[in-house]
Amino acid sequence: MTLDANPFADRSSLPFELPDFSAIRAGHYQPAIEAGMAEQLVELAAIASNPEPPTVENVIDAWEASGQLLSRAALAFFTVKWADTTDELTAIDEAVAPLLAAHGDAIYLDRPLYDRVVALGDRVEAGEVGLDDQAAYWLERTRLRFERAGVQLGSGEQARLRDLNTTIAGLQSKFGRLALAGSNAAAVWVSDASELDGLTEAEIKAASELAVERGRPDAWLIEISNTSGQRPLDVLTDRGLRERIHRAATTRGLAGEFDTRAVLLELARLRAERAVLLGFANHADFVAADACAKSADAIWERLTGLVPAVVENVAAEAAELDTVLQRAEPGATLQPWDWQYLSELVRAERYSLDAGQLRPYLELEHVLRDGVFAAATGLYGITFHERTDLVPYNPEVRVFEVREADGTPVGLFLADFFTRGGKQGGAWMNNIVDQNHLLGQLPVVVNNSNLVKPPAGEPTLMTWDDVITLFHEFGHSLHGLLSDTRYRSQSGTETPRDFVEYPSQVNEMWSLDPALLGRYAVHVETGEALPSEWVETLIGSTLFQQGFKTAEYLSAALLDQVWHTTPLDELPADAEDVEAFEAAALEKVGLTLPLVPPRYRSTYFRHTFEGGYDAGYYAYIWSEVLDADTAAWIRATGGMTRENGERFRRRLLARGGSIDVMDAYRDYRGQDADLKHLLERRGLLR
């Protein structure tokens, strides 16, 4: 396959090998991905058939140098597909998803290639080849990956496994497309301006502009984000509109053109079948065995152990909210669409600080430069320099060059802040170029979020949750930017799923650092710093509504586990039974809480059914155990100091997945994590 005039044919000549997005067109992706897969199979076949004795250079280094064309094209494609999809990109995704799954099978079900890896291990054991820690871990992990992939199965079982992998990949892609389209279609129309009371003028204007774009200049349009909870529910005073938004959010995917039930059900069933074929009791055990948790039972024990305290806290919080509701509307029944709004009233009453008062102090540019970037500079000495000469994949994306204190280049950071119709919901980090010494590449990382873009010329005001999310996602970016590994497969966030959230969660702690907060939380119009009493109040309010927050997360995490621990013959066979299964799952774990829906219901649970966090949504709280312990230790040893930053950088972030991550954690921390710090943080210690 020729790639004449295809921008992916060679390594980019732009700084940091940033893809030349000014030249890339949608039609370039699929040919490059297909050619890249073919090229890599040839390169790996040469490794398998090499008659020379296996060495680090002719096995590990050669493998890691393979597939560069595929990597260039695929990393760029998925960056754009997630952030800026179109019908053409969607069609490409539909076409390449099963091809990429088949490509993985072609590699990890290749017995001669596996035998070559085993032969290198045999030479190491015999003392004929020496390995450093990174190469030794690569060899261990690669051999395990072959075996988990089914290389030792018989030919008939392998044929079925290939079919399953290809079908699962296609269904995951389909679920993502349906869920995104369903969220877009669920947007709520408003025809009476009085219903918008509580929104800022900028938010109302933005809703009007969205309506105009869709041909309704006489209306307003409120978009639906990917979670069950919706940001406008914090402030909208109109109870009827709050109900409409809540129902639109929580009934997505249950019917109509974008019904996801049949897809998610088939996915659950096929994953269950595949797990048994590979020798595991269920898909959750298959996932956990390759993570820090090691077993689904361990995950179940940790998650369900939190439930009683969470339920107790939710009941107390609901009683408090009902008291507030009765004062405003005697005889009314507390409903889930009331929770966020009433919580903000309680927060304002208890802490003399509400979301409306806080937002003018949380302007994006100040939070980014004087908060997120400033924390990274204070800890790691790195600095950020905007590069307007480099062309990103969308004009809204900003590009920053990251440098060491002495000016040495570190990498590129791309920031894509605003929601768009073709952008998946939520917030995330991904790589466009993986750091590695073997090929001499520096990292190029992207952060995406879904802030509502203000009208032209007006500032972007954030909620406190937006601020936390910005710090969190930048923590992932630091993991990628500060990586210092020989191999790209071990770079940065290439770690187990239940560890990858840990560094990003640690980075959240700096959002509440009093000195830093005083720098970035300044009034957008007056430049006045956030009042000191508000800072103390904000810090003191961290335990507020932890019952609700933990319950909505736990409900989703345990729902994910139930879908993936249930045996195949006990899973629903009909899409009409999905809601009943979900209800039974929540009842089983003791989280039947009508006032607190799961953060994601099954029909829009993209983390698990689009893939990536399937049977792995527990990772956030599993990682938070490490995070809470680390944060407590950092506070006890001086807080934001270069010494603390360098220790975290060199012993943990820099290592990526080049050694066992728990060994890296123990080396950094000096001991295993203490669960009590998480319980204290969430107000669950009794």
Annotated catalytic sites, by residue? Answer: 473
d(CA 221, CA 202): 13
Q: How many CB atoms lie within 10 A of CB 552?
A: 23
Please report, as a single letter, which amino acid is at residue 443: P
Q: Phi, psi (5° rounding) for residue 400? A: -125, 130
Which of these, 473, 469, 411, lies nearest to 440 by C-alpha position?
A: 411
Q: What is the DSSP string of 625-643?
A: HHHHHHHHHHHHTTSS-HH
Helices 261-277 and 155-185: crossing angle, nearest 10°? 160
Interior/surface letters 227-259, b for 16+ CB within 10 angstroms, e for the rest:
bbbbbbbbbbebbebbebbbebbbebbbeeebb
d(CA 606, CA 425): 10
Residue 267's contacts (CB-CB under 8 Å, 6 or more residues apart) are 168, 171, 172, 175, 609
d(CA 658, CA 435): 12
3-state SS of 542-568 is: HHCCHHHHHHHHHHHHHHHHHHHHCCH
d(CA 443, CA 427): 20
d(CA 686, CA 680): 9
- Evaluated on CA atoms 269, 274, 279, 280, the torsion sign reads negative
Would you say 587 and 593 are in contact if contact means Cβ atoms under 8 Å apart? Answer: no
Which of these, 77, 27, 21, 19, lies nearest to 395 by C-alpha position?
A: 21
d(CA 370, CA 378): 11
The residues pairing with 385 across neighbouring beta strands, listed in sequence order, are: 401
∠ CA 135-137-142, nearest 5°, is: 95
Supply 271's token pair: 């994953």
Distances (CA, A) of 431 to 208, 486, 603: 35, 17, 28
